[in-house]
Amino acid sequence: MLKQRIYGIASGYEDVNDQEHLRKDPMFQVAANREPGEEHAMASPPTICRFENSGTREDAWRVAEVFVDQFIASYARPPKVVTLDFDATDDRIHGQQEKAFFHGYYDDYCYLPLYVFCDDRFLVGYLRPSNIDGAKHAWVILALLTRKLRKAWPKVRIQFRADSGFCRHRMLTWCDHHGVEYTVGIGKNDRLEKAAETIIEASRTEARRTQKKVRLFGEVRYGARTWAYERRVIVKAEQLEKGENVRYVTTNMRGAPQRIYDGFYTQRGEDSENRIKEQQLDLFADRTSCHRFLANQFRLFLASAAYVLLEHIRRVSLRGTELAQARCQTIRLKLIKIGALILVNTRRIFIRMSEYFVGLQRPLPSGHPAADLTGSS
């Protein structure tokens, strides 16, 4: 049932009701290690629904561990650096569900899932109610991941990267004491702007002189009243045609301010935010429409497993091809949802595919194994 549901989501069938047809599909049956044929039909939609609603907290913990183990196993050799991108997003709810709360920023009733990625690789998908601080439990997750990764790779450098919603003094202090590098956004305030006044004014002066876009970088020492000590804060003072754009990032990493900001911090948009879009837009991670909160967490796990599957195909099988950087939706359309005639006999399955399907740039040459449409696969 687990394979049946994950392969369905990866193939674009997010609704449980879709399983009424897919349970008899010979290709899905073979993928799920079942004999093809209607007499070997897989689980029905009601059975899948009961399966999704049967999970416990212990099950959720064990599944979460599997994702981290899978991440570690995806490396052929220990990496020198692992960058953990933390990010939260909104997940609109559907009707009267457990732990449904209104969130002012998103102006709707929603959940607030927390995601952790490393480059394109998935580690954590943690569903949370929305009546909490956006950084809640992030510190615990970071500590657990750090312990797990260092146990597997004792010499690995761990970097924590996130936006200003995760700028929490106790969490950053823990990073300082445990050798975890961090680069985290920090919100504007009067004291911080006063400390960076020289850098900001210099950018204004240069913009007036050149009448062009100006970007200046610098750094200041800053500590909020609740902080035990000051930290290094990188300042990006940017003057645009539409107005002033000033950003602040606190870090304990070494290096020039612009190199840390442009070369490291801004990469979180690609490595985290775009991956969340793939999760929700391409793999339906926001289809959390069950009444039970734990069942919705399980659905998030299913979508995450489908992402891990397609990301592995993209990273390993499609390396060096035109689809090496393709989104999950593109991989699905060009490699998975392809029209074919499937014939099943007692000994084998025949897959008859068109030699002109969209996944090929040109027709297959005569003599190519796949060009013989009567051959078996």
The band of 344, judged by pLDDT with boundaries at 50, 70 and 90, is: confident
217-246: per-residue pLDDT in tens? 999 999 988 899 999 999 999 999 888 999
Question: What per-residue confidence (pLDDT) applies to 181?
Answer: 97
324-342: average pLDDT: 89
Give the tokens for residue 38.
């209607």
Please compute the mean of the pLDDT values over residues 264-280 and round it to a whole number: 90
Residue 85: the pLDDT is: 96
Question: Does 374 have pLDDT greater than 50?
Answer: no
> What is the number of alpha carbons within 13 Å of residue 94 lying toward its C-beta?
8
Q: What is the four-CA torsion angle of 151, 152, 157, 161, rounded to 10 degrees?
A: -90
Q: How far apart are CA 135 and CA 109, in angstroms?
A: 19
* Domain layout of the chain by residue ranges: 60-180+252-290, 186-251, 338-377
Tokens of 326: 């393709």
Tokens 């007499």 found at: 39
Radius of gyration of the CA atoms of the chain, in A: 25
Q: What is the pLDDT of residue 371?
A: 46
pLDDT, tens digit (0-9, with 9 covering 90-100), for 174-218: 999 999 999 999 999 999 999 999 999 999 999 999 999 999 999
Spatial separation of the C-alpha atoms in residues 282 and 158, rounded to whole Å:
29
| Non-local CB neighbours of 156 within 8 Å, separated by 6+ positions | 78, 79, 80, 81, 82, 149, 150
Determine the pLDDT at residue 245. 93
pLDDT at 375 (0 to 100): 40
The pLDDT score that the predictor gives to residue 373 is 40
Contact 344, 36 (CB under 8 A): yes
**Mean pLDDT, rounded, for 350-358:** 77
Q: How many percent of the chain have pLDDT more than 70?
A: 94
What band does 38 get if pLDDT is binned at 50, 70 and 90?
A: confident
pLDDT at residue 347, rounded to an integer: 81
pLDDT above 50 (res 258): yes
Give yes or no for residue 368 having a pLDDT over 70: no
Query: How much is the pLDDT for 358?
Result: 62
Q: Is the pLDDT of residue 376 over 50?
A: no
pLDDT tens profile 107-162:
999 999 999 999 999 999 999 999 999 999 999 999 999 999 999 999 999 999 99
Mean pLDDT, the chain, integer = 90
| pLDDT grade for 369, boundaries at 50, 70 and 90 | very low
CA distances from 209 to 97, 129, 213, 235 (A): 58, 50, 11, 21
Provide the pLDDT for residue 365.
55
For the domain bounded by 60-180+252-290, which CATH number is listed? 3.30.420
What gap in Å lies between CA 287 and CA 281, rounded to an integer?
Answer: 10
Minimum mean pLDDT range among 171-180, 254-263, 269-278: 269-278
pLDDT tens per residue, range 44-75: 999 999 999 999 999 999 999 999 999 999 99
Least confident interval from 253-267, 293-307, 318-332: 318-332
